[in-house]
Amino acid sequence: MSVEIAILACLIVPAIGSLLIWLTGARPNLRESVTLVTAGLLFCLVLVVVAPVSAGARPEAVLIEMFPGLSIAFKVEPLGATFALIASSLWILTSLYAIGYMRGHNEKNQTRFYAFFALAIASTMGVALAGNMLTLFTFYEVLSVCTYPLVTHSGTPEAKRAGRVYLGILLGTSIGFQLFAIGYTWIVAGTLDFTDGGILDGKVSGGVAALLMTLYVFGIGKAAVMPFHRWLPAAMVAPTPVSALLHAVAVVKAGVFSVLKVTIYIFGIDLLSTTGASYWLAYVAAATIIIASLVAMRKDNLKLRLAYSTVSQLSYVVLGAMLATSSGAIGSAMHIAMHAFGKITLFFCAGAIMVATHKTEISQMHGLGRRMPFTFIAFGIAALSIIGLPPLGGAWSKWQLALGAAETGQALLVAVLMVSSVLNVAYLIPVAVRAFMPAPGQSESPDRSDDGASWRIEEAPMFCVVPLCITAFGCLLLFLFADRLFEFLEPIAAG
The 10s digit of each residue's pLDDT in 304-360 is 999 999 999 999 999 999 999 999 999 999 999 999 999 999 999 998 998 888 888
**Domain end: 267, 292, 325, which one?**
267
Query: Does residue 368 sit within a domain?
Result: yes
Band of the pLDDT at 249, cuts 50, 70, 90?
confident
Residue 324 is assigned to a structural domain of this protein = yes
Same domain, 236 and 300: no
Q: Tell me whether residue 189 is in a domain.
A: yes
Write out the DSSP string of 426-481: HHHHHHHHHHTSPPTTS---TTB-TTSPBP---PPPHHHHHHHHHHHHHHHHHHHT
> Are both 421 and 470 inside the same structural domain?
yes
Amino acid 455: pLDDT: 60
302 and 188 fall within a common domain:
no
pLDDT in tens, 275-313: 988 889 999 999 999 999 999 999 999 989 999 999 999
Q: In this structure, are 245 and 342 located in the same domain?
A: no
Q: What was the pLDDT predicted at 444?
A: 53
Q: Residues 289, 261: one domain? A: no
What pLDDT score does 194 carry? Answer: 94
Domain end among 267, 293, 322 = 267
Phi-psi region of 109 (alpha: psi -120 to 50; beta: other; left: phi over 0): left
Domain interval for residue 262:
1-267
pLDDT per residue as tens digits for the range 200-220: 988 888 899 999 999 999 999
Instruction: Report whether 351 contacts 464 (CB < 8 A).
Output: yes
For residues 121 and 239, give the distance between their C-alpha atoms in angstroms, rounded to a whole number. Answer: 17
**DSSP β-bridge partners for residue 132:** 193
Query: Are 127 and 229 in a shared domain?
Result: yes
**pLDDT class of 92 with cuts at 50, 70, 90:** very high
Mean pLDDT for 168-179 is 93
Q: 257 and 310: one domain?
A: no
Compute CA distances 465 → 238, 284, 337, 348, 470, whole Å.
20, 38, 21, 8, 9
- The verdict on 205 and 287 lying in the same domain is no
Q: Domain check: are 220 and 367 in the same one?
A: no
User: Over the stretch 363-374, which tens digit does the pLDDT of each residue have?
Assistant: 888 888 888 999
Residues 259 and 386 in one domain: no
Q: What is the pLDDT of residues 121-157, one digit of tens each?
A: 999 999 999 999 999 999 999 999 998 988 887 778 8
Looking at the domain assignment, is residue 273 inside a domain?
Answer: no
Please check whether residue 272 lies inside any domain of the structure.
Answer: no
pLDDT for 251 equals: 86
What is the rounded distance in angstroms from the CA atom of residue 106 to the CA atom of residue 260? 39
Q: How many CB atoms lie within 10 A of CB 89?
A: 21
Alpha-carbon gap, residue 19 to 16, rounded angstroms: 5
**Is 427 domain-assigned?**
yes
- Number of domain units in the chain: 2
If asked whether residues 290 and 256 sit together in one domain, one would say: no
Q: Are residues 119 and 81 in the same domain?
A: yes
pLDDT per residue as tens digits for the range 49-76: 999 998 899 999 988 887 777 899 999 9
Task: Please report which confidence band the pLDDT of residue 440 belongs to, taking 50, 70 and 90 as the band edges.
Answer: low
For 449-453, the CB contacts below 8 A with 24+ separation are 449/367
Query: Would residue 486 count as lying in a domain?
Result: yes
